[in-house]
Amino acid sequence: MDVVVIGSGVIGLTTALRLQELGLRVVVVTADGLLSTVSAVAAAVWYPVGVEAGDRVANWSAATFAEFTRQARAGVPGVVMRDTRMPAHRRQGDAVPWWGAGVPDLRRMEPSELAPAYADGWRFTAPTVEMPLYLPWLLGRFLDGGGEVVHRRLDTLRQARVWAPVAVNAGGLGARQLCGDDAVRPVRGQLVLVRNPGLRTSLRIQDDPAGYTYVHPRSRDVVLGGTFEEGAWDLAPDHEAAEAVLARCAAHVPELRGAEIVGRPVGLRPDRRGGVRLEAGNGGGGLRTVHNYGHGGAGVTLSWGCADAAAELVAAALR
C-alpha cells in the first residue's frame, strides 16, 4: 500500500477517495463501524458552523459546496440541494458573510420573508446530505476502486507504518490520543429526529435566545437541533434537552407540533482549539504523516475541500 488513512468518517473516506484518484493504493484503518462514527449522526447540511472563520476555511467550504452540487446533479445517494433560510434578530450589516463567496445564489431575505421578530437574514440553496445513505456510497466507491478496510484500534500513529510509508490522520477525536493533541475536545450535540410532515425548506437560527436552532428536512424525517456542549463525552440521550430542542423548533415551525419522534441521536463533534489541523508531519519510525482533523461541527461542510488539500500534501510527501 502507498497510503494508510486512519478513520472512516466523512473526512477519512473523502480523503481516501481523492488519494485513489491520484492512482495511489489506499487502506483505511478504523476502530469504528461505518455507521458508528460521528459522521453517521450528523445533520450534514452545508454550513461552516463550529469552526473558525477565515480564508482557509472559506476556500475549503466553497470547494465542498461545488463538489456536492455536482454530486446532487449526478444523483448521488443522499445528496440534495435544498432551500435554506437564516433569519436573524439583529441587522447583520451589508457585507456578504465570510463564507458567502462559494454560495452562488446567496441573497438577503426580503422584509416580506421575515417574521416580525427578525430584522435581517440570508437565503440560499445549500447541499443537504443524508449520511445513512451517503456514507455507504462513499465506502462503496472506495472499495470498488481497490481500497481495503482494516478494523483495528491504533494507540499511536507509528503503528500505521505496518501498512504504508505515509499515513493520513483523519481520526477525529481519536487524534487526541494518536498524536497527543490536547487541543482536541468533544462538543456534544443532542438532536431530535421526527417524521417529516411535508417540510422542504431548511431553517437555521443562530441567535435564538433559547438556543441554537435548526430544522433540516430529509426524505423521510426532519433533523432538529441542537446543543453545543463543550467538553462533554456522554453519548446517552438527554430526554429533557431533546424536549427543549423540539419545543423551540416547533415554536418557529408550527408544522412540527405533534410530529412523531423517531430518534434522539447524540454525537460528539471533534473540535480543536486553534482550528482544523491540516498539515504534514512526522509520525516517527520512518512514517510520514498528514494531519486532517479538528473540523468541529463542519466536517461534512469542509470534507471535499480538505480532502483535496490533504491529497496534495500526501503527493508531496511521496515525491
What are the tens digits of pLDDT across the range 253-303?
999 998 999 999 999 999 999 999 999 988 777 899 999 999 999 999 999
Q: How are strands ordered across the β-sheet holding 266-272?
A: 229-230, 184-190, 266-272
Averaged pLDDT of the chain: 93
Q: Which distant-in-sequence residues (6+ apart) come within 8 Å of 257 by Cβ? A: 250
Residue 93: predicted pLDDT: 74
- Answer whether 129's CB lies under 8 Å from 79's CB: yes
Residue 32: predicted pLDDT: 80
Residue 115: predicted pLDDT: 84
Residue 51, pLDDT above cutoff 90 = no
Return the sign of the alpha-carbon dihedral for residues 84, 269, 99, 135: negative
Fold of 3-318: D-Amino Acid Oxidase; Chain A, domain 2 (3.30.9)
Residue 34, pLDDT above cutoff 80 = no
Q: Average pLDDT for residues 143-153, to the nearest whole number?
A: 95
Higher pLDDT, 37 or 181: 181
Residue 160, pLDDT above cutoff 80 = yes
Residue 142: predicted pLDDT: 97
236-264 in b/e form (b: 16+ CB < 10 A) is: eebeebbebbbebbbebbeebeebeeeeb
Residue 170: predicted pLDDT: 96
User: Exposed (0-12), middle (13-18) or buried (19+): which is 81, by Cβ within 10 Å?
Assistant: middle
What are the tens digits of pLDDT across the range 90-115?
877 778 899 999 999 999 999 888 98
Residue 36, pLDDT above cutoff 80 = no
Q: 18's torsion region: left (phi>0), alpha (psi -120 to 50) or beta? A: alpha
Q: Average pLDDT for residues 57-63, to the nearest whole number?
A: 96
pTM over 0.85: yes
Q: How far is CA 100 from the centre of its chain?
A: 18
Residue 162: predicted pLDDT: 93
Residue 90: predicted pLDDT: 81
Q: How confident is the model at residue 209 (pLDDT cuts 50, 70, 90)?
A: confident
Residue 72, pLDDT above cutoff 80 = yes
Higher pLDDT, 46 or 36: 46
What are the tens digits of pLDDT across the range 218-252?
999 999 998 999 999 999 999 999 999 999 999 99
- Answer whether 226's CB lies under 8 Å from 210's CB: no
Residue 284: predicted pLDDT: 73
Residue 257: predicted pLDDT: 93
Q: How confident is the model at residue 86 (pLDDT cuts 50, 70, 90)?
A: very high
